[in-house]
Structure 1
Amino acid sequence: MDPIQPVPPPGPGVHDLSPWGLFLMADPIVKGVMLLLLLASIACWAIIIEKWGTLRRLRREARALAALAAGARVPDAPPGRADLPAAALRAGIPEWRHGQGANETDGEYRARLEAAMRKAVAQEVRRAEPGLSFLATTGAVAPFLGLFGTVWGIMRSFIGIAASNDTSLAVVAPGIAEALFATAIGLAAAIPAVIAYNRIAASLGTLRGEALSAASDLAARLARSAALPEARPQLRPAE
């Protein structure tokens, strides 16, 4: 029995079909498309991680604002703090201390308090939105950018086939594989971006609704305390 012969090393005609090898073999334009998609994917993941932490913080602040609206005391907002309860108090407490105007009904007074507090809360939630447009743009454009790289790579492969007059699979496959790799990278960048955009946008919408509802409840408490002088000592901001 003949001994097992070692496998000879790949010769110069053997193509490296690993992802790195496909990148190295690609046309310069296709390489540029791949690098652009890779950078977009890294930026998307950075935004996703940052928004995940921001959503956790906003959920805590929305719960704190709801607890504040249901509590028995309204503390002063620390001047240097930037969160939902502090924003609502900074907007509402001056209006509450100013009191109801002579030509203002109870409903108008409450509406003024509520509008000021809801506006401040909405502005604070809106600070979490930057970056979402990049996710949406990447999700919409990345597949087409990868498709452009694929079309360009296949076109170049057909030109090479025509020049060599060789249509064997060994000649055709590497060029088509490196071209299709660009589409794969485009999809890998677009799919997480689309999923993350939809989830983050939906979560922000829910948090905005909860925070605005809590701000309305707090404004209603402040308006009632202004209408009931005997209740003011319990609801007056703490010194």
Structure 2
Amino acid sequence: MSPWELFLHASIVVKLVMIGLIVCSVYVWAIIVTKTLTIRRINREATEFEDRFWSGGSLDDLYESEGAKPVHPIASVFGAAMGEWRRSARISGADLVRGGVRDRVDRAISITITREMERLERGLIFLATIGPVAPFIGLFGTVWGIMHAFGAIAAMHNTNLSVVAPGISEALFATAIGLVTAIPAYVAYNMASAALGHFSDRMEAFGTEFAAILSRQSEERS
């Protein structure tokens, strides 16, 4: 029997389970495609920004062009740190070091990284949930389908394989859909979490280096 025929001949409960799993599978793949493109984009933008940052150009010019209105996470970290440093410089004047500029810059960097990671990690909780749960949802549909099949067998008083097989096949199809939904979700969650973890470390490393640069400039001005 084809998958379509297995679906059509399943009981209403098993059909609902299958439909729910198929909808979840579509959403899982949408998240996978979106996260894959996003991770590639932010790494590419981060590399391009770091090249401009370390090129020796003016930090003020870089802030005006990218930091004031950042469009990617690394630029947001740079903009938050540079903006806090500028505000502190205006307020504190020459007393930059004793004014705790480094602490304020570090706090601005930390808050920005946390906010950016929360935005990048949206959707991962769904993958983390579907991965372990989908097989059990499919198993519920299988159990229900087998119960329904056995009820039909009892009503027909016939245990011939040609009578038993279709009902059991329809039931097992629900578990198959559950596995097809769960496996990509589980793999994608682990891969995306690892990639975003590396990117978080990259932002923290950049933030630490930039904060050190600003700290040195503060000491030179004080």
What TM-score bracket applies, with the shorter chain setting the length? Answer: 0.7 to 0.9
Tell me how far 1:111 sits from its aligned partner: 2.9
Tell me how far 1:227 sits from its aligned partner: 1.7
Gaps of 5+ in 1: 1-16, 231-239
Tell me the secondary structure at the aligned position of residue 114 of structure 2: helix
Tell me how far 1:63 sits from its aligned partner: 2.4
Tell me how far 1:104 sits from its aligned partner: 4.9
Tell me how far 1:69 sits from its aligned partner: 5.2
Aligned to 2:25: 41
Percent identity over paired residues: 43
Aligned to 1:8: none
Aligned to 1:31: 15
CA distance in 1, matches of 2:187, 2:197: 16
Determine if contact 2:17/2:137 at 8 Å carries over to the other structure.
yes
**Radius of gyration: which is bigger?**
1
Aligned to 1:222: 214
Residues 139, 85 of structure 1: alpha-carbon distance in 2 compared, 3 angstrom cutoff: closer
What do the CA deviations read for 1:47-104 (whole angstroms, capped 9, x no partner)? Answer: 1000001101221233245445534231224444321243123312233223384495
Q: Which deviates the most, 212-221 or 113-122?
A: 113-122
Residues 40, 195 of structure 1: alpha-carbon distance in 2 compared, 3 angstrom cutoff: same
1:57 counterpart (33, 36, 41): 41
Aligned to 1:195: 187
The number of equivalent residue pairs is 213
Residues 154, 165 of structure 1: alpha-carbon distance in 2 compared, 3 angstrom cutoff: same
Aligned to 1:90: 79
Q: RMSD across aligned C-alpha pairs, in angstroms?
A: 2.2
What TM-score, normalized by structure 1, do the two folds share?
Answer: 0.82
What TM-score, normalized by structure 2, do the two folds share?
Answer: 0.87
Aligned to 1:167: 159
What do the CA deviations read for 1:175-233 (whole angstroms, capped 9, x no partner)? Answer: 00000000000000000000001110111111001111101101111111222249xxx
Give 1:63-212 correspondences, 5 Å limit.
Answer: 63-67=47-51, 70-72=54-56, 73-74=58-59, 75-77=62-64, 78=66, 79-97=68-86, 98-99=88-89, 101=92, 102=95, 104-105=97-98, 108-212=100-204
Determine if contact 2:97/2:218 at 8 Å carries over to the other structure.
no
